[in-house]
């Protein structure tokens, strides 16, 4: 099989998708923005060919590159794994008659208001929401639904550009910040109170082959706005228990309604006083290297599993569920440059066998803002056979390992 893979060099873990495709026997031609001479030697060793474009999100350039490759030989798949690349790839895939996730499915997984409208029509429990292109549309929705509300760019991923508003004053500020008053399209929805998590799969021909569930502690909006919090993402090894049946059914129902066939998926959900509610789904892997956690917890190489399903339509491996795994993000006490750390030696003494890896930028490194994400500064990743014990360990790290800045 000959697979075209979009953007193999950035972000850094993209090369693992190329590695995996090569390891399962695919010929891989990559399309990216980096000059071929600047690609790592190991990455180049996995490639059959390479096409440089000025931007992988510029559809004419991407299509020209694909057609150049097609002129040299048959292409079986055109794939990418980055949220911002999904729609251009789908359009080019369709125009070049290459099999894969449809434009309709990709659009519905990118446009939050359209996604939820389709799912509500299929009786999937979602927050009330709408798409807005003007300030008046936002105000009308607020008057009808009430506060609190969430405002978010329609095509954003994760918590990027997301704002919670609790009153008219905050609403007007968010309208200006999101630029919906200048015609920028946004999604507006009711805020759902409750615990926040996500459900991820690898799917093949519409069937779930691998599945995983994760929890946020605390929810993403709070985590990305509050410096003193050391937020956690934790994947459970209990996803096959009855506790997660409703989440698993919800995920499969959403995938069926949206027409997801052979792909990775990443679905966010809430559970609270109003029950289990769907939040959003992406037709791609999760961010912040969560696949590393899944692999370490389940004795799997998720990149190879993805490649097997794409290339061969099957796999012979199952998730072991031996461990729960998680990460805790550690924020500097202020913006500036990193001066020192506290508690790192005690961390290794207490929990060394359970530590997967750590990232402590060297003193003198510029800090990144609280809203920079879970891997913006320091972090620790761990695993343990018992989910509750893992939570205790991650809590200890968040409370006792300090990043001091100046």
pLDDT for position 127 = 86
Question: Rounded to the nearest 5°, which phi and psi values hold at 118?
Answer: -65, -40
- Rounded CA-CA distance 196/213 in Å is 11
Backbone angles phi and psi of 128, in degrees to 5: -65, 135
Distance of CA 71 to the CA centre of its chain: 34
Tell which wins on pLDDT, 55 or 221.
55
Residue 232 reports pLDDT greater than 60: yes
152-176 mean pLDDT: 82
pLDDT recorded at residue 152: 87
| pLDDT, tens only, 195-205 | 999 999 999 99
Write out pLDDT tens, residues 284-302: 999 999 999 999 999 999 9
- In 289-350, the DSSP E strands lie at 324-330, 338-342
46-83: pLDDT as tens digits? 999 999 999 999 999 999 999 999 999 999 999 999 99
Query: Which residues lie closer than 8 Å to 79 by C-beta, 6 or more apart?
Result: 3, 4, 5, 6, 17, 89, 100, 310
Non-local CB neighbours of 268 within 8 Å, separated by 6+ positions: 196, 197, 198, 279, 280, 281
Residues in the chain: 406
* pLDDT at res. 387: 98
Residue-level pLDDT at 155: 58
Domains of the chain, first to last: 2-100 (3.40.50.20), 128-190 (3.30.1490.20), 195-405 (3.30.470.20)
Of all residues in the chain, what percent carry a pLDDT higher than 90? 90
Whether residue 29 is predicted with pLDDT greater than 70 in this model: the reply is: yes
Residue 19 has pLDDT above 90, yes or no: yes
Which residues, in sequence order, are CB contacts of 27 under 8 Å at separation 6+? Answer: 1, 2, 3, 48
Instruction: Give me the half-sphere count of Cα atoms (radius 13 Å) on the Cβ side of residue 198.
Output: 24
Q: 159 falls in which pLDDT band (50, 70, 90)?
A: low
- pLDDT greater than 60 at residue 206: yes
Per-residue pLDDT for 328 more than 90? Answer: yes
Residue 128's pLDDT band (cuts 50, 70, 90): confident
For the cut 90, the answer to whether the pLDDT of residue 381 exceeds it is yes
Give 112's pLDDT tier (boundaries 50, 70, 90).
confident
The mean predicted confidence, pLDDT, of the chain is 95
Mean pLDDT across the stretch 209-228? 93
Measured distance CA(87)–CA(280) in Å, rounded: 16
Query: For 270, left (φ over 0), alpha (ψ -120 to 50), or beta?
Result: beta
pLDDT of residue 154: 67
In which band, very low, low, confident or very high, does the pLDDT at 225 lie, cut at 50, 70 and 90?
confident
Class of residue 27 by CB neighbours under 10 A (exposed 0-12, middle 13-18, buried 19+): middle
- Which of the 8 DSSP states describes residue 366? B
**Strand, coil or helix: what is 31?**
strand
Q: How confident is the model at residue 260 (pLDDT cuts 50, 70, 90)?
A: very high
Q: Average the pLDDT over 235-249 and give the result.
A: 98
């Amino acid at each position: 099989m000959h697979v075209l893979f979009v953007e193999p060099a950035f972000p850094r873990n993209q090369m693992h998708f190329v590695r995996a495709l090569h390891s399962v026997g695919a010929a891989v031609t990559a399309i990216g923005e980096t000059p071929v001479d600047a690609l790592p030697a190991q990455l180049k060793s996995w490639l059959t060919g390479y096409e440089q474009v000025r931007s992988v999100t510029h559809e004419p350039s991407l299509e020209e590159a694909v057609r150049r490759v097609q002129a040299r030989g048959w292409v079986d798949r055109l794939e990418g794994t980055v949220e911002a690349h999904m729609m251009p790839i789908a359009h080019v895939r369709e125009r070049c008659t290459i099999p894969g996730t449809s434009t309709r499915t990709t659009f519905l997984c990118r446009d939050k208001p359209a996604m939820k409208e389709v799912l509500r029509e299929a009786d999937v429990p979602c927050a009330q929401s709408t798409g807005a292109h003007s300030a008046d549309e936002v105000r009308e929705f607020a008057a009808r639904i009430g506060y609190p509300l969430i405002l978010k760019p329609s095509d954003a991923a994760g918590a990027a550009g997301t704002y919670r508003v609790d009153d008219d004053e905050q609403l007007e500020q968010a309208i200006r910040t999101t630029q919906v008053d200048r015609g920028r399209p946004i999604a507006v929805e009711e805020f759902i109170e409750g615990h926040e998590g996500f459900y991820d799969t690898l799917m093949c021909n519409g069937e779930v082959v691998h599945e995983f569930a994760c929890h946020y502690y605390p929810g993403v909006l709070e985590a990305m706005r509050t410096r003193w919090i050391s937020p956690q993402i934790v994947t459970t090894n209990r996803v096959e228990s009855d506790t997660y049946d409703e989440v698993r059914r919800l995920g499969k129902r959403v995938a069926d309604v949206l027409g997801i066939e052979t792909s990775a998926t990443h679905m966010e959900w809430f559970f609270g006083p109003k029950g289990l509610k769907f939040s959003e789904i992406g037709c791609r892997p999760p961010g912040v290297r969560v696949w590393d956690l899944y692999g370490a917890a389940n004795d799997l190489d998720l990149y190879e599993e993805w490649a097997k399903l794409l290339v061969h339509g099957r796999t012979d491996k199952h998730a072991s569920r031996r461990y729960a795994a998680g990460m805790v993000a550690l924020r500097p006490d202020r913006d500036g440059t990193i001066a020192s750390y506290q508690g790192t030696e005690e961390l290794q003494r207490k929990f060394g066998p359970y530590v997967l890896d750590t990232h402590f930028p060297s003193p003198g490194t510029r800090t990144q803002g609280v809203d920079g994400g879970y891997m913006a500064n320091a972090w620790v990743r761990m695993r343990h056979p018992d989910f509750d014990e893992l939570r205790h360990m991650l809590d200890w790290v968040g409370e006792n390992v300090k990043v001091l800045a100046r």
